[in-house]
Amino acid sequence: MSHSTSPGSWDGPWYRVHTEQFEAAFLPNAGENLELVDNIDVFVNLKDDSRWSATVITLAQVETLMKRWAASGEALGGRYFWCPGGLIVRDAGIGNMTQVLAGLIETGEFTQILQRLDD
């Protein structure tokens, strides 16, 4: 699966990426390296004007959190991970995450995984 994504642009605190299929608005932390992002909220507008959201997090970041929680006692001592609208990806970076979103649209799985936002 090969999807080209044009570079994004800043719009206040949002980093927006436009593709032929959608616009994704990512909300990184200030100063965060966009290709190392491993936990981020994204809002997606499809061509049909529907709006969607997810928290995209890498598998490595989930493991880091669960280890931290094992020590702190959170989440039953790190025995589970859960977040609303969570989408776990293998590789970090907004470019990779955008490719995953494009792939989900291509395979028809997008609407089963992201959360639809009501207007």
Q: What is the pLDDT of residues 12-48, one digit of tens each?
A: 999 999 999 999 999 999 899 999 999 999 999 999 9
Q: Is residue 64 part of a domain?
A: no
Domain that holds residue 37: 9-55+84-117
How many folded domains does the chain comprise? 1
**Closest C-alpha among 113, 64, 56 to residue 90:** 56
Q: Is residue 67 part of a domain?
A: no
pTM: 0.89
Q: Is residue 43 part of a domain?
A: yes
Q: Is residue 46 part of a domain?
A: yes
Query: Which DSSP state fits 22?
Result: E
Give the tens place of pLDDT for each residue, 59-101: 999 999 999 999 999 999 999 999 989 999 999 999 999 999 9
When pLDDT is cut at 50, 70 and 90, the band that residue 119 belongs to is: low
